[in-house]
Amino acid sequence: MPLPLLILALSSFAIGTTEFVIMGLLPDVAGDLGVSIPSAGWLVTGYALGVAIGAPFMALATARLPRKAALVVLMGIFIVGNLLCAIASDYSVLMFARVVTALSHGAFFGIGSVVAAGLVAPNKRASAVALMFTGLTLANVLGVPLGTALGQAAGWRSTFWVVTLIGVVALIGLLRFLPSNREEAKLDMVAELSALKGAGIWLSLSMTALFAASMFTLFTYIAPLLGDVTGISPRGVTYTLLLIGLGLTVGNIIGGKLADRRLGATLVGVFAAMAVISTVLSWTAVAVIPTEITLFLWAAAAFAAVPALQINVVTFGKSAPNLVSTLNISAFNVGNALGAWIGGAVIAGGLGLTSVPLAAAALAVLALIVTLITFRQTRTPDLAPATH
């Protein structure tokens, strides 16, 4: 794998860390800025909405730029956003800074995955996308716990200063090592929007949204499930989250290799596995060791879908890969919000925490059905990654 892929992975590590580390720092942020924990929680929601809504607009705004230039601009926005987080004087400024940072998130992953796929041979494109997204999984394994520990020890602003520094290093790497493609087509807005015609692309985006909904229905409420049902201590929950992060990383790498061989079969297998493993978790959650094993397998199965889903949407929208790839990130965040709501509704409805994995399994089944419909409609059950 070429060095530019590692630069893209470093960039995704920085972006993933700044997205998720705020959850570990909520008590510190709330105490410092004089707001309640629920109010501080809106910083997570604001970021997710900034990604979901801002991503397609940023993709269109950078459509006329070469992809290297677009990534440089987006990383610049990311750096400014995190710098504003570090120096935010009050809650309103911090919320604004989080939204500014989020604007770069979706478009960077969308355009970056297209660039990553173009850096390698056609039969290794999903693996290249998986390597880029490995930075995102490592953000959960290393960036979030280390960033949380730093913020607790030296103040929450110190975490954003470090993320800003990582962003600067990534920006220098993009400028220095990312190749420029002078023959790259520069699509206008009409051409970009025309790629959204046809049922295939919308079914593919629905697959992503349902996948994320299934994943985050369970992931959002994993801590109370482990604490109240499994009986794991708060420190044990931290170690379990580390184990899940390792599972996400392994799944991401394996999923990329599988998707390079058979894209459609990989997606069908992943969604079937998510449905089965989530159902099993509703039974194993009462015992520690079975729960740990089940969650590792669930995490590996879940993130095996990420590179395949990203390549899938570009296959259907190959005339405008920047836009459709970015829309896929928006779909993921829409599913994130939907899953959190569904899991909360299950708990609020009195069905109990062990019903949350069953709700996640039902959403995985819906994703499986949409996948089967999508590939049957196109009559190409094993679509190859598109050429960019």
Q: What is the pLDDT of residues 256-272, one digit of tens each?
A: 888 888 888 899 999 99
Enclosing H/E stretch for 117 = helix 91-118
According to the model, what pLDDT value does residue 386 have? Answer: 39
Query: In 3D, which of 52, 54, 43 has the Cα closest to residue 84?
Result: 43
Contact of 21 with 27, CB cutoff 8 Å: no
Which residues fall within 8 angstroms of residue 180, CB to CB, at 6 or more apart? 66, 68
According to the model, what pLDDT value does residue 189 have? Answer: 56
Query: The whole model's pTM is what?
Result: 0.74
According to the model, what pLDDT value does residue 192 have? Answer: 61
Query: In 3D, which of 125, 86, 136 has the Cα closest to residue 2?
Result: 125
Distance, in Å, from the CA atom of 165 to the CA atom of 377, rounded to the nearest integer, reads: 47
Query: In 3D, which of 193, 258, 203 has the Cα closest to residue 377?
Result: 203
* Location of structure tokens 């390698």: 120
pLDDT tens digits, one per residue of 184-198: 555 555 656 666 676
Enclosing H/E stretch for 343 = helix 321-348
Inter-axis angle of helices 3-33 and 37-61, to 10 degrees?
A: 150
Average pLDDT, the chain: 84
Q: How many residues does the chain have?
A: 388
According to the model, what pLDDT value does residue 384 have? Answer: 41
Which residues fall within 8 angstroms of residue 345, CB to CB, at 6 or more apart? none
Q: Which residues of the chain have pLDDT under 50?
A: 380-388
Contact of 28 with 157, CB cutoff 8 Å: no
According to the model, what pLDDT value does residue 381 have? Answer: 40
According to the model, what pLDDT value does residue 38 have? Answer: 64
Domains of the chain (ranges, CATH numbers): 3-186 (1.20.1250.20), 192-378 (1.20.1250.20)
Backbone angles phi, psi at 186, to 5 degrees: -105, 105
Q: Where are the alpha helices (DSSP H) in the chain?
A: 3-33, 37-61, 67-87, 91-118, 125-138, 144-154, 156-177, 189-194, 199-219, 222-224, 234-261, 263-284, 288-303, 305-316, 321-348, 356-378
pLDDT tens digits, one per residue of 305-342: 888 887 888 777 666 666 777 788 888 888 877 887 88
According to the model, what pLDDT value does residue 276 have? Answer: 97
